[in-house]
Each structure stands twice: as C-alpha cells, then as structure tokens.
Chains A and B, each alone.
Chain A
Amino acid sequence: MKTDHQSLNMPGEEILSNMLIKMYQIRYFEQVAGRLYQKGQVKGGVHPYIGQEAIAVGISAHLRKDDLITSTHRGHGHHIAKGADLNRLLAEVIGKETGYCKGRGGSMHVAAFDAGSLGAFAINASGLPVAVGAALSAILQDKDIVIIAYFGEGALAQGTLHESLNMASVWKLPVIFVCENNEYAVSTPSEMTISYQDMKALAEVYNMWGEDINGQDIMEVYETAGRVIKRTREGKGPAFIHARTYRFEGHYFGEPQIYRPREEVQEARNTLDPIRIFLDYLFTHNLMSQEEAQKIDQQAQEDIQKALTYAEESPEPKPEEYAKYVYA
C-alpha cells in the first residue's frame, strides 16, 4: 500500500486540499444518490464510484479545463473530479430540467461540456473511440490538450477497446486510456473473462506507454498521472494506465452482490478506503492537521447538501418537450 514518497514530485498544499475535498464530495454525492434511490426519488440505475475516488481525483489534479474526458455509466466521480457543477450534476441524476442534460440523460449519461467532459457513454468501451476522435481533432486543430478515456476492466474484452488502442497508437494521438479495474464486471470476476492480467504487456503490444498502479493510493495516482499526462501532452503519444481498485457498493445501488462474500467487502472498506489512506498519508507527513481535514470534510458535506436542495427544488422537464434536442 505504501508508495516511496521520497520520489514523488510533491503536490503543494492547495492541490492536497483540493484533492481531499473532491474525494469527499464524490463520496457524499454518491451516498446522497443512494439514499434518493432508496426513497424512490431516483428511478434509474445509479452506479456509485465509492471506493474508486482516488483515480479520477488524482488524474484530474493534472488536467486543465480544456483537457477532455470520456466517462462511463459509473461517471459521477469522473465529472466531479473534472470540475462539474455539483448542483447541475445532482439535478441531472434526479432528472430535473436544471440538470446538465436537462433531465434527458440521467445518472448513466451525465455530461458537463463546460467542464471538459464529452459525456458518459454507458455501453461498455463505447466512449473509447470517441476519445480517440477528440484526440485526432486536437492534433488537427493544433491544440495541446490531452483526452482521458475512463473505462472499467469489463471493457478489456470489448473489440472496440482494441480498435481504439490500435488507432490511438497508429496515429500517435494525445489520449490516455484509464482502466479502473474494480475486479468485477457486474458479477463476473475479471479472471473468468479476461485472458491476460499483465496490463503493461497489453500497452506494450499496442506500442504505447503503460502503467500499472494502486488506484487506492491517491499519491501514487497523482505521481503517475503527472508523468504520463506530461509526456502525452508533449506529443509522445498515447498511454494506458491500469489502476487496481475495488468498488465498495454493488454494481448499482440495490444490486444484491451475491457473487462476493460480505467479508471481502468489509475487508476492503477497512483496508482499501482511498480517503482513509490519503488522510493517513497527510497526517503522517504532517501535511495537514486533523482539524483542517475535518473542515474540508464539513465543507464537502455542505456542498452536497446545497446541491441536494438545489436539485430537489428544481422543476422537472416539461412533458410536452420530450422531443426537444433530438436534432440540432
């Protein structure tokens, strides 16, 4: 679990605080979404990012506003980390007109184009070629942006993933593929369906830079992402980051999780909580006081409470406008 922090290019205080508040915001956002689901206020499937917060937050700490991401059905965390407005994001999850997608997308299709998101593609691996296309667009328009394509390890079995890795490499595009391996594709453990476990070898096959990291340790994510984003932004081509993680909740809220023992989940919550790991690091290295951390925690709770009030008080889309936005 421990990284050799001596070798890290240390983030400053502001970055550390910002990363911590984003992690808390994601955690509380998802918990609120879960409660709304239980109360029936959220009808569709909600796929929580709880347990995986360090990945998107550690990566986004290096992203500019004009850098782009493609997200997945488990996309709230990617969007919060990238800087999406919490009010509009939660309003979308509840299906309100004030939501980012005006209630047309919902939890699985959250999108925040004002924050550099190209949206959440809720079919496995389908966002990857879109990310490659955005990267092609970037070089054709001489922009020095990078595109982050998030996906789960279930996508490793999709042909579209392999097509995307191949094109990105052949054309040497500024796209970084981030595989969040949370061990289960819905109920299926990856070793039952993925024939290869060495992800650096996969990157090598596609002739691109590869990293295999502990996605629970935000300092490791931060350090790796910093190096990888820098080289891709400098025109050195695509990269593949495999981040080992674990989802603390079911595939979606309300999913019975009969495929894994409760003890396994409890053990993960006890030992792999990325927020706990980050706090331990901050306190051990005297980078933040307990009091400061509590203040940040409190602030995040208030931010989410405000977002909830905003979302709940917002109007629903007008029924007669169901066909709005089909065509440009």
Chain B
Amino acid sequence: MSMPEKTESPREITYMLAIREALQAEMRRDSNVILLGEDVVRHGGGFGVSKELWEEFGDKQVRNTPISENGFVGVALGAAMTGMRPVVEIMFADFSALAIDQICNQAAKVRYMSGGQTKAPMVVRLPQGGLSWKSAAAQHSQSIEAWYVNVPGLKVVFPSTPYDVKGLLRSAIRDDNPVVFLEHKALYGFKGEVPADDYTIPLGQADIKRLGKDVTIVASGYMVHFALEAATQLAEAGIDAEVIDPRTLKPLDEEAIFVSVRKTHRVVMVQEASQSAGVAAEWVTRVQEVCFDWLDAPIRRLAGKDVPIPYANSLEQQVWPRPDDIVKAATEVCYR
C-alpha cells in the first residue's frame, strides 16, 4: 500500500466522506471547480456525498440540475471548454447511458477534433455496482466501466478504498481531460485510514493491495475486497496471493500487472461487471500478449454473469463473483 510519508495521527473515515473531503478541498483551492447534478444542493446528491458543500460554497459552485443527463453533462463540457472545472454527479451510473453522446461523442473528442485548440477538464462521477447495496435490480445496480474504457479521449478511474478515492478524485479534478470517476455504492460506508494531509494519487498508477508470491489476483472496485478476503483464506491453505488494484482502468498501469505476473506466473482476473468484453478481458489479453512465456497456467477470469441484475435476493446472489469463487480459481491455477 502506498501511504503518505507522514501523518499526524491515523484517522479513519468512510469512502463517502473521503469523496466529500476531496470535493471540498478542490473547491476551496480553485473557485472554478463547480459541482453539478441532480439534488446535489441540500440533498447532497443521490447518496449524500455532497452534503454541506452548498452551505459552504453557495450557488456559484454547487448547482442542482434538471433531470436531463445528456443536457447537463453537455453543460459541464461547455463550461469546461471555457475555463471551469466541473464535476458532474449522475445519480446512478446506469443513467449515464442517457449522457453517452455528450461523454463519448463530444467530451472525449473535442480536443482531438479541434486539433488541440480546446480541452475538457471535467469529471463525471458515477455511483455504480451492487453487492451489499442490495436489491436495486436491473437499472440501478450495473457496473458499467467497460462502456467508457472503450472510448479514446476518456480516462476511467475506479477506486476501492477511502484513501484512494480521495487522492484519485483530487487528481481527476486537476486533470485536463474528461474523467469518468466510478464510485462503488456498496463502499460508501466502508471505513479506512485517510490522512488529513494534502495528498493526491496520480491517475494511471496501480496499487499492490497485498504482496504475495504464488498467484496474482487483479481486481478493482468492490472486488478488491473480495480478493483480499480470498487471499486470507488462500494463506490458510498455504497459497500466498498478490492482489493488484489497477485503480485507474484507463490508462491502465499494465506494467504493474506484468511485474506481478512475472513473479507469480499465475493469474486470476476478477470483475463485478457482466463478463462479455469487460475490463478483465482486456487485462487477460494484455498479459497473454506480453507475459505468455512467464505463465505456468491458463489465465482465469471471473466476472458477473451476462444477465440483467435480478431483484430477488436468491437470484441476485448468483450473478456476482464471490470470495469463494476467487479462492477456487486461484487454487486451480496453482494446481493444488
């Protein structure tokens, strides 16, 4: 874990509060940082992330929008192209499908299409995922990172811890490119150590969440925590797993994965999102293209099932990889 060099005293806060602190710090640092979205003013956005920000920053920096996702993402783009640094919250990542034109056709491309005449320094915050955030069913539980990872011109970030989410959001806001910033809904209440210091984490840098030598588990978002849980179980069976969290999905720190694979020779890739053409498929491809000769076993991929997320608990629990699945796959690639 890359922790800051010095902290006054360790302090534990939630993932949600870490996001709020990042927004607050950047909005204080730069008055051109504005927050737009549905209900972000008094309600604090869909999940309460931005509570108290309007009270501090007022109408100039915190603005409620109509329920017009494509429209207000386009507004953020127009503002970004003319000197502001907007952060847009879309209430659920699923709803960002309504704004895909502005995110993928406009924001991602204005710099290239204009031959570098303009830039789009904006962040689109997307709460996504299911798991312990239960029974929201097919239109409020998806993991949609692959929609955006496919698009040149975008950066895509998916932090798994309070420490990471704060440092990465601050970097995302300061980045001159459109950043799709994925927050896992089931992690909002998750607590972790976050220094009060002024730190950032560069985009495009993976983190080793657990050092190990026998098998590499690559996972992001909530799956990082399942991977760590699996690693604990594996340790009891004498398998020492290394857990890599890319943190930024685009640009991908592939070198961090390669280094780990060259050490362990065995890999399990895990994603919560439905399987087909997901980010894990991309990781698998890159590893086999570059590290084929280092592999001692076929790469395993664990992913969500290719079905809409069901409502009933008995069904819902079937669609996501569980820690036990990771344990099983890791044991298999180790031929134990």
The residues of A with any CB-CB pair to B shorter than 8 Å are 68, 70, 99-105, 109, 111, 113, 118-119, 121, 123, 126, 128-138, 140-141, 159-160, 163-164, 166-167, 170, 324-328
Contacts and interface: CB of A to CB of B under 8 A. Distances in A.
Nearest to A109: B113
Interface string B97-140: 00001100110001111111111110000000000000000000
A188 B73 CA distance: 29
A128 B76 CA distance: 12
A328 B121 CA distance: 9
Interface stretch (B42-50, B80-88, B183-191, B213-221): B80-88
Contacts of B60: 140
B192 interface: no
B181 interface: no
A101 B114 contact: yes
Given A137-B82, A163-B66, A328-B111, A129 B71 contact: yes
Of all A-B residue pairs in the complex, the 9 with the closest CB atoms, nearest first, are A133-B78, A129-B74, A163-B71, A102-B115, A101-B115, A163-B68, A328-B176, A133-B75, A130-B78
Contacts of A100: 114-115, 117
Contacts of A326: 111-112, 152-153
A132 B66 contact: no
Contacts of A133: 74-82, 86
Contacts of B83: 137, 141
B118 A111 contact: yes
Contacts of A119: 110, 113-114, 117-118
B153 A166 contact: no
Contacts of B113: 101, 104-105, 109, 111, 119
Contacts of A324: 116
Interface residues of B, number: 42
Contacts of B114: 100-101, 104-105, 109, 111, 113, 119, 325
Given A134-B81, A166-B66, A167-B68, A113 B111 contact: no
Given A129-B77, A134-B79, A123 B118 contact: no
B205 interface: no
Given A123-B105, A132-B75, A160-B74, 17 more contacts: A104-B114, A104-B115, A105-B114, A109-B113, A113-B118, A121-B106, A123-B106, A129-B70, A130-B77, A130-B106, A137-B84, A159-B70, A160-B71, A160-B101, A167-B71, A327-B177, A328-B120
6 contacts: A126-B102, A133-B81, A133-B86, A134-B79, A167-B68, A328-B120
Contacts of A135: 78
A134 B78 contact: yes
Nearest to B119: A328
Contacts of A68: 82
A159 B68 CA distance: 9
Contacts, number: 143
B100 to A, nearest CB: 11
Interface in B55-75: 60, 65-66, 68, 70-75
B287 interface: no
B34 interface: yes
B249 to A, nearest CB: 15
For A103, A118, A129, A164, which residue has the most chain B Cβ atoms within 10 angstroms?
A129
A301 to B, nearest CB: 28
A94 to B, nearest CB: 14
Contacts of B73: 129
For A123, A126, A137, which residue has the most chain B Cβ atoms within 10 angstroms?
A137
B74 A132 contact: yes
Interface string B9-35: 000000000000000000000000010
Nearest to A135: B78
Given A137-B84, A160-B70, A160-B101, A132 B78 contact: yes
A325 B105 contact: no
Nearest to B98: A159
A68 B81 CA distance: 11
Contact of A129 (B78, B86, B153): B78
B106 to A, nearest CB: 6
Contacts of A130: 74-75, 77-78, 81, 106
Nearest to A128: B74
Contacts of A167: 65-66, 68, 71-72, 75
A319 B202 CA distance: 31
A58 to B, nearest CB: 24
